[in-house]
């Protein structure tokens, strides 16, 4: 079974600084998707960024970028120029492509605090 591990329960960053959230996963599949989701307090979870495993190029979405290391099964999220609105729980998630499953496997999350 696939597992996703987020080893940092909590992280903090100063406004305008850069922070990196870690994620590792375990799978025997070669093709899959990886995601980072953001869950603000009492609000719905939203997709931050997505990476297809077959793509070597790291995904980037404005201030958010990933460092995808397939061999190491590592998928970290870098947030640049952190803003107060970035404060939230961040979840790393995995989805296999083969087998037609729509199931997302989530890590336990990292709580990000942004200090003014």
Partner 1 sequence: DTGVSQNPRHKITKRGQNVTFRCDPISEHNRLYWYRQTLGQGPEFLTYFQNEAQLEKSRLLSDRFSAERPKGSFSTLEIQRTEQGDSAMYLCASSPLQGLSSGNTIYFGEGSWLTVV
DSSP per-residue letters across 8-70: -SEEEEETTS-EEE--EEE-S-SSEEEEEEEE-TTS--EEEEEEETT--SPPEETTEEEEEET
CB nearer partner 1, residue 1 or residue 116: 1
Q: What is the DSSP letter of 85?
A: G
CB nearer partner 1, residue 11 or residue 45: 45
CB nearer partner 1, residue 20 or residue 104: 104
Closest listed residue to residue 47, CA positions, set 7, 106, 97, 96: 106
CB of 27 to partner 1, least distance (A): 15
For residues 51 and 75, the answer to whether their CB atoms sit within 8 Å is: yes
CB of 15 to partner 1, least distance (A): 26
> Which residues are at the interface with partner 1 (CB under 8 A)?
4, 33, 42-47, 50, 52, 91, 93, 95, 97, 100-109
CB of 58 to partner 1, least distance (A): 16
CB of 5 to partner 1, least distance (A): 11
């Amino acid at each position: 079974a696939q597992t996703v591990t987020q080893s940092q329960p909590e992280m903090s960053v100063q406004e305008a600084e850069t922070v990196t959230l870690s994620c590792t996963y375990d799978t025997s599949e070669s093709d899959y998707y990886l995601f980072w989701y953001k869950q603000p307090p009492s609000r719905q979870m939203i997709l931050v960024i997505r990476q297809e495993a077959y793509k070597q190029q790291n995904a980037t979405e404005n201030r958010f970028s990933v460092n995808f290391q397939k061999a190491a099964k590592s998928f970290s999220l870098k947030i640049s120029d952190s803003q107060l609105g970035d404060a939230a729980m961040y979840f790393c998630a995995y989805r296999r492509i083969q087998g037609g499953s729509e199931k997302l496997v989530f890590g336990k999350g990292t709580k990000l605090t942004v200090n003014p």
